[in-house]
Amino acid sequence: MRNVSKRDASRYPWDMTLALCPGSFDPTTRGHLDIFIRTLSFCDELIIGLGVNSTKGYLFSDAQRQILLRDALLEVQAPMERIRIMTIPGLLANFCRDQQIDVVVKGVRNSLDLEHEMPMAEANRALCAVETILLPSAPNLGLVSSSIVKEVALLGGDISPYVTKNVALALAQERELLG
In the complex, what is the shortest distance from the CB of residue 156 to ligand PNS, in angstroms, rounded to a whole number?
A: 25
**107 in contact with ligand PNS (CB under 6 A):** no
Q: How far apart are CA 160 and CA 110, in angstroms?
A: 22
Choose, by CB under 6 A, the member of 43, 88, 101, 149 that binds ligand PNS.
88
Residue 22 binds ligand PNS (CB under 6 A): yes
Q: Which of residues 36-55 bind ligand PNS (CB under 6 A)?
A: 51, 53
Q: Which is nearer to ligand PNS, 143 or 156 (CB)?
A: 143
Give the H or E element holding residue 19: strand 18-23
Say if residue 46 is exposed, middle or buried (CB neighbours under 10 Å; 0-12, 13-18, 19+).
buried
Residue 10 C-beta: closest distance to ligand PNS, Å: 25
For ligand PNS, the nearest residue by Cβ is 51
Angle between helices 146-154 and 165-178 (to 10 degrees): 50
Q: How many CB atoms lie within 10 A of CB 24?
A: 18
Does position 140 interact with ligand PNS (CB under 6 A)? The reply is no
Contacting range for ligand PNS; rule: CB under 6 A; set: 16-24, 65-73, 136-144, 161-169: 16-24
Binding status of residue 91 toward ligand PNS by CB under 6 A: yes
Q: Which residue, 40 or 47, has its beta carbon nearer to ligand PNS?
A: 47
Closer to ligand PNS at the Cβ: 23 or 31? 23
String of DSSP letters for 116-167: HHHHHHHHHHHHH--EEEEEEPPGGGTT--HHHHHHHHHTT---TTTS-HHH
Residues 11 and 44: beta-carbon distance below 8 Å: no
Check residue 19 for interaction with ligand PNS (CB under 6 A).
no
Q: CA distances (Å), 174 to each of 11, 21, 51, in order?
A: 46, 26, 21
Write out the residues near ligand PNS by the rule CB under 6 A. Answer: 22-24, 51, 53, 88, 91-92, 120, 123-124
